[in-house]
Amino acid sequence: MKKKKVTVGVLTGGGDCPGLNAVIRGVVKASISKYDMGVVGFEDGFEGLVERRSIPMDWLTVSGILTQGGTILGTSNTANPFRWPVKDEKGKMSFKDVSDKAAAYIKELGIDSLVCIGGDGTMAIARKLSQKGIRIVGVPKTIDNDIWGTDITFGFDSALQSATEAIDKIHSTAMSHHRVMVVEIMGRYAGWLTLESGIAAGGDIILIPEIPYDIKKVCAVVKKRSKQGRRFSIIVVSEGAKPIGGKLVVKQVVEESTDPIRLGGVGLKIARDIEAQTGLESRATILGHVQRGGTPSPYDRVLATRFGVKAAELCHSGVGGVMVAVKGSDIVTVPLSDVGGKTRLVDENHPLIDVAKNVGTCLGV
């Protein structure tokens, strides 16, 4: 009797970022060339699982996608099989668990392992699917670098490069016009992208979520710089930064999303506060989704490919309930149960905090 060919499923969930296609390519090519496995891709993340949208994937499907940003499979940051949005005839929103429907589709397609590429929300959903008996391998993706259990996520290096280049360009405008320039960086509740781009671009003040800021201290620094003849200042602020005793600045709430809170606007608030309290002309730039787009950096291409190849190896070995991760220079695995629901934040004693302080950067306190 002929042995059944192992089939791997792959999907990309949550927000897009550079390197997603490199992972898909790594999974598909390693699955086919080394392990003789079949591969099926699900369109638009978990939405494809629920709505029964999948495509067979082969060598030609992933040819030429290594350098492309985004994801050829599409993605969704609202699709959650365990909290599926449904509207009644009057347009009222409610949520239902359709995970059994998703699991049934996976079984119907004969998929032995499912590779879920995404951030903490995707990993949380993957963990719950794993508990339903589906063999899951997670791959950590986010520009925020905030996934528990891995030293770094793919997508972070590319976003860091984009953010740093943008701050560099704003630097020259700040010098020419003698302005205080506030640059708002993505990252949600973690300050990794803001901290590292701020250090790389020579930010005078760096404000991250993990260290609530004192606006009086921020104003004192820009005034001191002005009096010393440095007639401009660069403030790099995370979208999740907040004042001591204050609240986050929320742009909108998307009810049906796995993470309903959309942060944004703290840069504008800080610029207004500085201008009101110091009289110095201040401007804010919100980099937004430009940090997510574009070609992945060489580092991210290599890391994403390593992740994809490792995921294929785990699928072939029948290993599930894990996420691939970086520890030092090694690609390892961590249990999905250790990842879901946790966030990797910047510790106030992290060496990069000392680096920023030692070159005279103000952290808002």
Q: Are 180 and 232 in contact (CB under 8 A)?
A: yes
| Tokens of residue 70, six digits | 């985004």
Burial of 322 (0-12, 13-18, 19+ CB in 10 A): buried
CA angle 264, 269, 275 (to 5 degrees): 150
Q: What whole-number distance in Å separates Cα of residue 171 and Cα of residue 249?
A: 25
Catalytic residue among 44, 120, 144, 204: 144
Task: Give yes or no: 58 in active site.
Answer: no
Element (H, E) at 191: none
Question: What size, in residues, is the chain?
Answer: 365
For β-strands 84-87 and 93-96, DSSP reports them as: antiparallel
Q: Are 24 and 117 in contact (CB under 8 A)?
A: yes
Q: What whole-number distance in Å separates Cα of residue 199 and Cα of residue 352?
A: 9
3-state DSSP assignment of residue 92: coil
Cβ–Cβ contacts within 10 Å for residue 36, how many?
Answer: 10
For β-strands 180-185 and 136-140, DSSP reports them as: unpaired
Q: What whole-number distance in Å separates Cα of residue 206 and Cα of residue 226?
A: 18
Q: Are 76 and 44 in contact (CB under 8 A)?
A: yes
Q: What whole-number distance in Å separates Cα of residue 247 and Cα of residue 213?
A: 11
Q: What whole-number distance in Å separates Cα of residue 8 and Cα of residue 304?
A: 18
Q: Are 313 and 29 in contact (CB under 8 A)?
A: no
Catalytic residues: 144
